[in-house]
Amino acid sequence: MKHSHDHTSLDLSTNKSGYSDDKLKDIHVQSLREKPTKGFPLLPIFMLFLFSILVFGCAIYIALYSGGFDPLIYNEQLKPVKKLELTNSTVPFDYITHGKKIYNRDCVVCHQSTGLGVPGVFPPLSGSKWVTGNVHLSVNIILSGLMGPIEVGGTVYNSVMPPLGSQLTDRDIAGVLSFIRQEWENNAVEVSEDLISKLREEQGLRDTPWTIEELLSLYPEE
Ligand code: HEC
């Protein structure tokens, strides 16, 4: 028994490479200690994700706020003091130039660039006593419109002009009236913005356009 035991243990404790039992155990313990990880390590993936978001965010920011890299939008050399001087200019507002723009946008289709209107359909503004006369009438015509018969330059028009008060500001109306009162053969004084505000408040915007009789009863011809 003793002999055979010795023989077996001798067989197991050495192999062809000459490693002992203990040596082999050591090697295996060592390799067991380093557990193989499954899948990818998480930290680098998280960092990649984080930086992608960062880069994406920066790109969006630049796209939104770069102003097309226009040098005029951000100018670090600009002196704010100079800019204030420019905007605080004392040049008065040019109502006639502004009014011409409004006329060409909102009146010209009917009253024409000649101010002569369309015979029998749209009355002329050039040479019209309604334009150069009491300004209260024409302000109200623009604010709430006009309907029914009106005689202009010897011709009776019986049509409707739509109200424009909701789409035009007081400044627009002051401008366009100042313009038509001085354009073509007309020669009357400019109209102030304050008067438009006052009439807009007094009369409000009416549901139905004025008739010339109503306007004449409010503002008798002088
Ligand atoms: C859709 C066509 C149309 C537009 C746009 C229009 N008008 Fe008129 N306008 C008329 C008509 C039509 C009359 C006559 C209404 C009537 O028969 O009662 C009139 C009458 C007038 C009158 C009084 C009559 C006269 O010839 O003097 C004035 C002033 C006037 N319009 C100014 C303007 C101004 C200023 C604008 C632009 C802000 C304007 N109109 C936009 C069609 C228009």
Could you tell me the pTM of the whole model? 0.66
- Residue 180 Cα: closest atom of ligand 1: 35
| pLDDT of res. 17 | 66
- Residue 130 Cα: closest atom of ligand 1: 27
**Token output for 89:** 């200019």
Give the mean pLDDT of 47-64.
93
**Beta pairing partners, 156:** 151
Quick check: helix, strand or coil at residue 125?
coil
Has residue 2 got a pLDDT over 50? Answer: no
| Neighbouring residues of 15: CB distance < 8 A, sequence distance ≥ 6 | none
- CA-based nearest residue to 127, from 145, 97, 151: 151
Q: Is the CB of 130 under 6 A from ligand 1?
A: yes
The mean-pLDDT minimum among 22-26, 144-148, 171-175, 197-201 falls in 22-26
| pLDDT of res. 183 | 95
Burial class (CB in 10 A: 0-12, 13-18, 19+), 182: middle
Q: In angstroms, rounded to a whole number, what is the distance separating the alpha carbons of residues 121 and 158? A: 8
Q: How does pLDDT run across 82-93, given as a tens digit for each residue?
A: 555 666 667 889
| pLDDT of res. 84 | 58
| pLDDT of res. 86 | 61
- DSSP letter at 207 equals S
Q: Which residue has the higher pLDDT, 69 or 101?
A: 101
What integer best gives the mean pLDDT of the chain? 85
The preferred substitution site among 135, 146, 221 for testing ligand 1, maximizing ligand atoms within 8 Å of CB, is 146
Q: Is the CB of 120 under 6 A from ligand 1?
A: no
Q: Is the CB of 157 under 6 A from ligand 1?
A: yes
Give the mean pLDDT of 110-124.
95
Domains and CATH numbers, the chain: 2-27 (no CATH), 95-218 (1.10.760.10)
Has residue 9 got a pLDDT over 50? Answer: no
Q: Is the CB of 111 under 6 A from ligand 1?
A: yes
Q: Considering only CA atoms, which residue is closest to atom 41 of ligand 1?
A: 107
- Residue 193: pLDDT band (50, 70, 90) is very high
